[in-house]
Amino acid sequence: MAVLAPVDEPQVHSALEQLQGVWATVAGPRQARLLIAGHRFTFEFLNGNIYMGRFDLAPGQMNMHVEEGPAEHAGHVSLCIYQLEGGILRWCPGRPGSNRRPDTFPDVDDARYLSLVFRRVRLADRR
């Protein structure tokens, strides 16, 4: 009787692993870039402010601890929601320090929210 080799299961990567890298907006009220490295982030509004800090994840939720950025936001936590599908990241933050997390994703055209859709930036796109 022949012994069968185990079938390789497709690797399931954690949300943290899938978030690693550079992301650029493709929809939303403002253009931005997001860099994720480990549990650290740098968020840059194009032609605007830069935020840096660390974050914690739970399913569909991200708590962003703003360590550097505009004075009114530095030292605060932004309670965010996110959805990750392949190379697309949907993200919406609560106002830093407000202790309020969005319940659902607002429309990207709703000016009351900063609801953004990002696409992963591939190495070839950065050149």
Give mean pLDDT, residues 102-125: 87
Give per-residue pLDDT as tens, 69-94.
999 999 999 999 999 998 999 999 99
Rounded mean pLDDT of 20-43?
Answer: 96
Instruction: Say yes or no to pLDDT of 10 above 50.
Output: no
pLDDT for res 9: 43
**pLDDT value, residue 127:** 52
* CA distances for 95 relative to 59, 64, 101, angstroms: 20, 11, 8
Residue 5's pLDDT band (cuts 50, 70, 90): very low
* Biggest distance spanned by C-alpha atoms of the chain: 71
pLDDT of residue 11: 46
Structure tokens at 104: 């659902």
From residue 120, give the alpha-carbon distance in Å to each of 34, 51, 102, 125, 126. Answer: 9, 19, 23, 10, 11
Domains of the chain: 15-118 (2.40.128)
